[in-house]
Amino acid sequence: MKFGIIFYAILGILALFIGIYLLQYFILLSIIFFIGAFINVVFIHKEYSLHKNDKIEYDENSISDEVIVKYSRSGRIIAIATYSIFVILGLFFLSGLKLKFNGTVIVVLFILLGFIGYFIFKIISQVRKISEIMISINGKGIQIKNNARYLWNEIQLEKIIVKRLVSRESKHDYKPEINYLYFFHNDEKIEINIDDFDITDYQLSQVLKIFRDRFNNSGVI
């Protein structure tokens, strides 16, 4: 964790100084580097929060009647800021375009407008994701998005599993890990990637255990 924070801190400081330097020449480009510095600050906060939250222990009394899981807010902020960089880049090139109405200029103009419009659409989609409920867990069962709720008496083997991405071309030992919410519902296997959510794999595994114990102790069949 310390290496990650130091790395993002160095990148953020470099981006900040480059942004300040470019202020006197290209304001739009300087804004891009300021956004880059901001993104690194969010990455630092995210790294620290993940490390801190993994130490949190849940118990029966600390969990409410329903746990709502949404997309990671810091992840959405990073995505929105990144897409904003591309919007500003498009505006930068658009501002330097000499509007002489010939075929080439018109084609370039439409490409730039399409480029800017695409990333504006991506920003809007990320903003909508902030309030979107991805997983709901309560005494009845598990609900994924707006689908019908999977009931506890129909669920088996609920747990968090880790898959490692292995590439034949890779010559390195590092294998990226992806965490999934995994369970069977009436012999159907359900897997949901949880890496981009506002809950860690360890936290979610605790939540699953607590709600399963609540259901088992309730005497409901």
What pLDDT is stored for residue 181 in this prediction? 95
For 63, counting Cβ atoms within 10 Å of its Cβ (0-12 exposed, 13-18 middle, 19+ buried), the class is middle
What pLDDT is stored for residue 63 in this prediction? 87
| pTM exceeding the 0.85 threshold for the entire prediction | no
What pLDDT is stored for residue 134 in this prediction? 95
For residues 191 and 193, give the distance between their C-alpha atoms in angstroms, rounded to a whole number.
7
| Other beta carbons within 10 Å of 174 | 8
What pLDDT is stored for residue 107 in this prediction? 84
- Provide the 3-class DSSP secondary structure of residue 137: strand
pLDDT one-digit tens code per residue, 40-99: 999 888 877 776 666 677 777 878 899 999 999 999 999 999 999 999 999 988 887 766
Dihedral sign from CA coordinates of 155, 157, 158, 162? negative
- Which of the 8 DSSP states describes residue 146? T
Residue 221 has pLDDT above 70, yes or no: no
What pLDDT is stored for residue 219 in this prediction? 67
What pLDDT is stored for residue 191 in this prediction? 94
pLDDT one-digit tens code per residue, 91-127: 988 887 766 667 777 888 889 999 999 999 999 999 9
What pLDDT is stored for residue 62 in this prediction? 79
What pLDDT is stored for residue 167 in this prediction? 59
More confident residue, 221 or 129: 129
**Helix 27-53 to helix 2-22 angle, to the nearest 10 degrees?**
160
pLDDT one-digit tens code per residue, 134-180: 999 999 999 999 999 999 999 999 999 998 776 555 555 556 789 99
What pLDDT is stored for residue 220 in this prediction? 66
Using an 8 Å Cβ cutoff, are 74 and 52 in contact?
no
Dihedral sign from CA coordinates of 16, 21, 24, 28? negative
What pLDDT is stored for residue 175 in this prediction? 62
pLDDT one-digit tens code per residue, 20-57: 998 888 888 899 999 999 999 998 888 777 766 666 77
For residues 210 and 88, give the distance between their C-alpha atoms in angstroms, rounded to a whole number.
47
What pLDDT is stored for residue 99 in this prediction? 65
Mean pLDDT to the nearest integer, 188-214: 92
What pLDDT is stored for residue 28 in this prediction? 86
